[in-house]
Amino acid sequence: MRVGLVDVGGKITNLALQKLSSFHKAQGHEVVLNPLSPIGLDKTYVSMIFTKDREKAVSIYGSYPGVEFGGTGFSLEKKLPDEIENMHPDYSLYTAADIFSRISGRIAKKENTWIKAEEIVNAGIGFLSRGCVNTAKTCPWCAVPAKEGVLRRVGSLNDIINPRSNKIVLLDNSICANPDIMDILLEIKQRKLVVDLTQGLDVRRLTPEIAKALSEIKHWRSIHYSWDMPLAGASVLRGIEILSEFVRKSAQMCYVLCGFNTDFLEDQERVRVLKELGIKPYIMRYLDPNNPTKSEETYETIRLRHFQRYINAPRAIYKTNTFDEYEGWINAQKKMSGAIGATQLELAW
């Protein structure tokens, strides 16, 4: 049996596909990652992260033999059977070249991108816990409660570690709420692992003890967290203050959800506060999961898209120029003034 595994939209290795690979190889089946055609395949799995990729993926792979679609971008209900979920990931599925082709568009030297690709492909990846501690009071923009349910422990570091590296990518969504958090951080420290808490921390749940333990382990990249709504400001800022007692601010990053029940001034204000604190902001522009590729082109959506580029630019333009001085936004306004007329543009302001 020849099995095709298709990874749509990912930048790092896909854990579900790695487990599927382990399962089918254990049955003696041949596994092919991202097959270029359906010829010779007997079974196909397509995993997508983002809903914006759903329509295109179904169009391309819908006629592949025995196709099954999954991933958050396709369905929140679709899950791996327990016998596959409990498999150890197949860390031989991806090569550095596979990852390099996905991240090579970044503004970086080719040799540095290769190093990054090799780090990713050699890292372990997985969950110690799944679910959300806030299922009774869900965040309307978040899919985790619907997809994963209540917070629970699902694995150990031994289930995740890749023997080729001491780097691990933890996919836990609520690690700060895990009652075993202190034991987990101590084990990471004792095993001298380098960790990427890729889903970020709920900084509102930080205690001095957790913050100190976080400062005593090695992090693959910045420690990141989110400030999703303006009303959460007091608890978020209190958490940042606690973390900053142990972790330098230059090693922190805050995701700022914009475009979900907030106006542009509220989005700008959160960025301003973070900038003054010395915390790097990163704009996460909300996309409706039910209509992710067809947001209406209005003055507000165009402005927010340029604000996102202005803040997230690798050269940290926001540190030296105001948004009104940002060339991309200046040019966009010129185009809009020609397209919709000066009077309408003034009204949009």
pLDDT tens, residue by residue, 215-257: 999 999 999 999 999 999 999 999 999 999 999 999 999 999 9
Q: What is the reported pLDDT for 45?
A: 98
Q: What is the mean pLDDT of residues 99-111?
A: 79
Domain residue spans in the chain? 2-70, 96-348
User: What CA–CA distance (Å, rounded) separates 150 from 131?
Assistant: 5
Q: What is the mean pLDDT of residues 181-202?
A: 96
User: Is residue 299 over pLDDT 60?
Assistant: yes
Q: Which of 11-20, 103-112, 283-292 has the highest mean pLDDT?
A: 11-20
The 3-class secondary structure across the chain, one letter per residue, is: CEEEEEEECCCCCCHHHHHHHHHHHHCCCEEEECCCCCCCCCEEEEEECCHHHHHHHHHHHCCCCCEEEECCCCCCCCCCCHHHHCCCCCCCCCCHHHHHHHHCCCCCCHHHHHHHHHHHHHCEEECCEECECCHHHCCCCCCHHHHHCECEECCCHHHCCCCCCCEEEECCCCHHHCCCHHHHHHHHHHCCCEEEECCCECHHHCCHHHHHHHHCCEECCCEEEEECCHHHHHHHHHHHHHHHCCCCHHHEEEEEEECCCCCHHHHHHHHHHHHHHCCEEEEEECCCCCCCCCCCCCHHHHHHHHHHHHHHCCCCHHHCCCHHHCHHHHHHHHHHHHHHCHHHHHHHC
Q: What is the reported pLDDT for 347?
A: 38
Q: Name the more confident of 336 and 276.
A: 276
Q: What is the mean pLDDT of residues 97-122?
A: 87
Q: What percent of the chain has pLDDT over 70?
A: 92
pLDDT band at residue 201 using 50, 70 and 90 as cut-offs = very high
Question: Mean pLDDT lowest for which of 167-171, 266-270, 307-311, 338-342?
Answer: 338-342
Question: Mean pLDDT lowest for which of 25-29, 41-45, 236-240, 258-262?
Answer: 258-262
Q: What is the reported pLDDT for 294?
A: 55
Q: What is the reported pLDDT for 108?
A: 64
Q: Name the more confident of 51 and 118.
A: 118
Domain 96-348 has CATH 3.40.50.2000: no
pLDDT, the chain, mean: 90
